[in-house]
């Protein structure tokens, strides 16, 4: 398993080096975390997709199938790669908190965001990759996220609609939304732990789907 993960890190070595150099610079030179966070997310997505690209491009995935490796090991190794990258992102955030001298708790929101976003990205990307290959998976992911962005523009309009609903009319929608918001824990530690748990459940479900797709696919 670890040979496969190490191989994926090796084929991404230039990419990772650039990321480390940038984050090292950002760590000391900037106060604002947001640009570095977005950069780290982009690089994290890129590392997994590039490892898939390398497997797909030169028929490396066929090479793997000729070796004595279990199908489940090949599939799970990609998720392990994703988890290691998520863990590295969390470590970088902790390092930020230490160097900047801010309290750790102020980074819980960022940690939750990083863990959840990357888990969701990997959970959607990898099954499509194991079913259809790199090109289709990347196209699908791009369309999917563009769709989400377009959909998110509609949130403002949705809020306006809810605001304009007069009392009595559609009261249940308001109540349901308020109840949902009240269910979200206010404690940032609990919120972070719940977010991580949900993210890992999503990844686990995605792994099962990828295994099914990989076993059914042809080399």
Positions touching other proteins (CB under 8 A) are: 3, 7, 10-11, 54, 57-60, 62-63, 65-70, 215-216, 218-219
Query: What is the C-alpha separation between 176 and 172, in angstroms, rounded?
Result: 6
- Measuring CA to CA, which residue among 119, 121, 108, 116 is closest to residue 49? 121
Nearer to other proteins, 74 or 83 (CB): 74
Which string of b and e fits 147-186 if b means at least 16 CB within 10 Å?
Answer: eeeeeeeeeeeeeeeeeeeeeeeeeeeeeeeeeeeeeeee
Nearer to other proteins, 58 or 175 (CB): 58
Nearer to other proteins, 7 or 131 (CB): 7
Q: Do 14 and 86 meet the contact criterion of CB atoms below 8 Å apart?
A: no
Smallest gap from Cβ 10 to other proteins, in A, equals 8
Nearer to other proteins, 149 or 219 (CB): 219
- DSSP secondary structure code for residue 170 in this structure: T
Smallest gap from Cβ 63 to other proteins, in A, equals 4
Smallest gap from Cβ 71 to other proteins, in A, equals 8
Please give the C-alpha separations between residue 170 and each of 72, 175, 179, 181, in angstroms, as whole numbers: 49, 9, 15, 18
Smallest gap from Cβ 88 to other proteins, in A, equals 23
3-state SS, residue 24: helix
Nearer to other proteins, 181 or 219 (CB): 219
Smallest gap from Cβ 216 to other proteins, in A, equals 7
């Amino acid at each position: 398993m670890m040979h496969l993960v190490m191989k994926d890190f090796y084929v991404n070595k230039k990419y990772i080096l650039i990321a480390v150099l940038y984050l090292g610079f950002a760590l000391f030179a900037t106060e604002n975390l947001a640009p570095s966070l977005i950069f780290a997310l982009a690089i994290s997505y890129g590392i997994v997709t590039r490892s898939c690209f390398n497997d797909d491009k030169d028929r490396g995935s066929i090479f793997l199938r000729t070796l004595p490796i279990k199908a489940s090991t090949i599939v799970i190794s990609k998720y392990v790669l994703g988890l290691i990258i998520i863990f590295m992102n969390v470590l970088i955030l902790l390092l930020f908190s230490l160097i900047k001298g801010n309290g750790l708790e102020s980074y819980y929101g960022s940690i939750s965001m990083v863990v959840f976003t990357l888990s969701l990205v990997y959970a959607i990307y990898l099954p499509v990759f194991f079913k259809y290959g790199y090109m289709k998976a990347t196209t699908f992911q791009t369309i999917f996220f563009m769709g989400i962005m377009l959909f998110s523009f509609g949130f403002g309009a949705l809020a306006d609609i809810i605001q304009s609903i007069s009392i009595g009319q559609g009261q249940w929608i308001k109540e349901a939304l308020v109840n949902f918001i009240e269910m979200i824990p206010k404690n940032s530690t609990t919120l972070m732990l719940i977010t991580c748990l949900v993210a890992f459940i999503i990844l686990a479900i995605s792994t099962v789907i990828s295994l099914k797709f990989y076993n059914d696919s042809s080399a």
